[in-house]
Structure 1
Amino acid sequence: MEGRRQLALQTVDLTAGFMVWVALSSLLPSIRQDIAIPAAQMGLVTAVPVVLGSILRVPMGYWAGLFGARTVFLASFAALIAPVWFLSEASTSADLLVGGVFLGIAGAVFSVGVTSLPKYFPSQRHGFVNGVYGFGNMGTALSTWLAPVAAAAIGWRGAMKLYLVLLGALVVLNLALGDRREPRVRTPILRQLRALAGDAQLWVLSLFYFVTFGAFVALTVYLPSFLTSHYGLGETSAGAATSAFVVVAATVRVLGGWLGDRLDCYRLLASAFAALALGAGMLAAAPGLPAYLAGVYLVGIACGIGNGAVFKLVPLRFAKHAGPANGIVSMMGGLGGFFPPLVLSASMSAFGTNAPGLAAFGVFATACLAAALVMQRRGSGRAA
């Protein structure tokens, strides 16, 4: 019973956290009407929340084991109040960069649930449980859909302040329903990191999550502005199209975790990377909006399957050092979301098209496909 309650609560926590994490990119088309943002800084403004949101995932995972999910979620949501208020009052691009960095706290909470929730369930269900928790990625869809609507009604500053209401509600909810008696892991973090450092499988999984979750984050933050500037969509339409991408990826993530409980995870990952390579090719070659969106949603499906499979394997293989292991793998996923928007922006500036950047991503996905097949032949990805 407690496990189900914590799964529901922490999935809501992740959803809210991811809503806040992409608040800046979701409102950027409206913000640009008030604040001049140099073209060279556009990719940076959307990418900076990913940096802290990635780096903090390692200590967040450790703290979740040491203090419990309730304490870490509470502290995180409380800490976000100041930067969200600051962004609502921003007047320069420098303000957006500074406030955006601290929004990364919201993205870092991912490693809290994947560390906490497996404690409540048998290993045969870890893929599905982490997949359900990962459905909280839907928070990015809610922001990209609702934030432009709110901005149209009350202005982007008012829309940003609505996130303060959300944060306050989550503080109260975790105070009331968080588990005060969650089992704790008190092994010092340096001892855990030393035990993990030489484990090749950890770094292979980190690479895979760098690609699958990185592609998800990158498209989530890149699509609203790109669909508006390149295809001429309105802010609401671009937000709806991006939200559809997130819904697809988040929903399929549950399926990916469920399949990971039953199938060889590395074979599953190989299929995901094949689809990612195909999707990247479609995006690079798409002559019009319908074909481009078809490629986007294929990438979303592949990301969801890949993300679910990776987080079946992490708690299965690293149960003794779950917090730091979850933090390292999820950090690499977050960093994977930082680089593609910058690469695509650079490709557009240098060549007038993002096709070279997308082609490079397709090659990278193909290399991961080969690595997954190697791991599959070693027989280290079978479901428990």
Structure 2
Amino acid sequence: MSESAAVNVKGSRIRTLIVTAFGFFMGISGIALFGPTAALLREPMELSATQVGWLVAMPALSGALIRVVFGAWADATGGKIPFLSLLGIMLGAMAILVFILFAYYPDDLGPHFYPVLLLLGAVIGFGVDTFSVGIPMNAYWSPMRKQGRALGVFAGFGNAGAGAFTLFVPFLVAALTLPGAYLFWIILVGIAFLLVAVFAQNAPYFQLHQRDGLPRDEAEAIAKKFGQEAFPRESLWPALFEAARAWRNWALVLTYFVSFGGFLALTAWLPTYWYDYHGMTATMAGSLAAAFGIWTGLVRVPGGAMADVLGGEPTNFIAFGLAFIGSVTLIFADGAGPALVGTMLIATGFGISNAAQFSLVPIYLPRAIGGAAGWIGGLGGFGGTAFPPIMGFFVDWQGEQGFANGFIVFAALSLMSIGIMILLRATRGGVAAAVAAADERAAKKGGTVPDTGPGESATQPENT
């Protein structure tokens, strides 16, 4: 029986990694859905700056709302069905958007279409959560010694999707018109869907246990022969509840709201900033915004290394210090050169912090790593929805000067985040007592400690 089941294991970890990384690349491209084209939509739809802010922010909203749920679904099923569901939802909403643009843009795309585009933006944002599904999907496939490299490839290549489309969409619009650019975009998403459907497979354990009906122990034993070392241990929900009890969890939610949410928000908002405030062409504005998004992603790698050497809190001191300096530079910048320096300082700070913050989760919440990662990654992403409308409000309130003064928000929040890190560093001595209290609560309930075991913790590495 075991030998027969082993023969029925399909796919490979390399093939799954390649196609899911491309799927995530296309899924997270939804963050750039309206950012590079907002200037072209603003006039026919008669939008205020605040309305533009909401429009570019909507794809980040749904991504934050559903991240925890889809991550838990991937843990339960292996990931392929949730991954395809997310890309399928994204495809359906993009098809409606393409139809509307071909039928009504530009002359008949009036203000009455604004709520429709908001809704479509939110639904298309489901693609962003291919990250929360692809991480466990690839982690279960890969041996422990190869997980860092595999997940680095998945997250590193995939995260570039938002920056890449911020860069390329203006060129596509110039070559194909606005509706044609979105048509080309949806074709690429469709290709990603097909590649995942055909070539990606759940890890061997899920094939054997769920598809073939083998008992858990037997399925694990066979899966180990294929190199699988990580297995789902128990539901993520107890870890979520345990993390919710810890104030340090919510402290990290706040700081990740600033750094990761700020990264998402500025990737979407900066095309409007460069185009309207500095008078750049659409292609140049997209290129400068793309530089911000791509650099923020690249800096995560040395950011994690810094946290290993210096510690998570000191690394975050430096990171949010850079973000503060960059924000102040943008407030007082008198030209595009200083403004570019300011945006890249913020990108460096946010990129480093995005990596360093997750190095603190095993220290502060060792009994609820997966749960804490779910809260921090999910709720932290709401910053991507909150900040663009705030930036737009400054423009509506103060006119052109509001583009600069809006960065007061990031300056203030960077200082707040430094204060939170100081508090966390100062109270490290209380972590052991908090962990002991969590163990005592679990023992009183007669269950196991709500820890993510070796297999499960491997599915919850540094978040996006």
TM above 0.5, yes or no, is yes
Task: Note the C-alpha offset of 1:124.
Answer: 11
Amino acid at match of 1:98: L
Match of 1:173 among 192, 195, 201: 195
1:374 match:
423
Deviates further, 301-310 or 104-113: 104-113
Give runs of aligned pairs for residues 82-101 of structure 1, distance below 5 A.
82-90=92-100, 91=109, 92-101=113-122
For the 8 Å contact 1:26–1:221, the answer to whether it is kept is: yes
Task: Note the C-alpha offset of 1:316.
Answer: 7.3
State the structure with more CA Rg. 2
Aligned-partner SS, 2:36: helix
Distance in 1, Cα, partners of 2:45 & 2:186:
22
Aligned pair in 2 of structure 1 residues 4, 206: CA closer, same or farther (>3 Å)? farther
Match of 2:25 among 15, 18, 26: 15
- TM-score, normalised to structure 2's length? 0.74
Deviates further, 17-26 or 34-43: 34-43
Task: Note the C-alpha offset of 1:217.
Answer: 1.0
1:138 match:
160
Match of 1:357 among 406, 422, 427: 406
Give runs of aligned pairs for residues 4-43 of structure 1, distance below 5 A.
7-32=17-42, 34-43=44-53
Distance in 2, Cα, partners of 1:249 & 1:60:
25
Amino acid at match of 2:389: L
Distance in 2, Cα, partners of 1:143 & 1:117:
24
For the 8 Å contact 2:49–2:393, the answer to whether it is kept is: no
Q: Could you report, residue by residue, the CA deviation over 1:55-85 in whole angstroms, capped at 9, with x for unpaired residues? A: 1111122112112233322111111111101
1:66 and 2:76 are equivalent in the alignment: yes
- TM-score, normalised to structure 1's length? 0.88
Aligned-partner SS, 2:47: coil
Give runs of aligned pairs for residues 109-148 of structure 1, distance below 5 A.
109-119=130-140, 120=142, 122=144, 129=151, 133-148=155-170
Deviates further, 116-125 or 352-361: 116-125
Over aligned residues, Cα RMSD in angstroms?
3.0
For the 8 Å contact 1:135–1:250, the answer to whether it is kept is: no
1:266 match:
313
| Structure 1, unaligned runs of 5 or more | none
Task: Note the C-alpha offset of 1:277.
Answer: 0.9
Percent of aligned pairs sharing the same letter:
27
Aligned-partner SS, 2:93: helix
1:52 and 2:62 are equivalent in the alignment: yes
1:80 match:
90
Task: Note the C-alpha offset of 1:211.
Answer: 0.9
Task: Note the C-alpha offset of 1:127.
Answer: 10
- Count of aligned residue pairs for this structure pair: 381
Task: Note the C-alpha offset of 1:117.
Answer: 4.8
Match of 1:305 among 352, 361, 385: 352
Aligned pair in 2 of structure 1 residues 293, 81: CA closer, same or farther (>3 Å)? same
For the 8 Å contact 1:11–1:136, the answer to whether it is kept is: yes
Aligned-partner SS, 1:109: helix
Aligned pair in 2 of structure 1 residues 35, 364: CA closer, same or farther (>3 Å)? closer
Task: Note the C-alpha offset of 1:178.
Answer: 2.6
Aligned pair in 2 of structure 1 residues 204, 111: CA closer, same or farther (>3 Å)? farther
Amino acid at match of 1:358: F
Distance in 2, Cα, partners of 1:359 & 1:140:
25
Aligned-partner SS, 1:362: helix
Aligned pair in 2 of structure 1 residues 170, 131: CA closer, same or farther (>3 Å)? closer
Distance in 1, Cα, partners of 2:357 & 2:72:
19
Match of 1:104 among 125, 138, 145: 125
2:5 match:
none
Distance in 1, Cα, partners of 2:322 & 2:265:
17
Task: Note the C-alpha offset of 1:314.
Answer: 4.1
Distance in 2, Cα, partners of 1:7 & 1:313:
27
Match of 1:345 among 392, 405, 409: 392
2:224 match:
none
Amino acid at match of 1:374: L
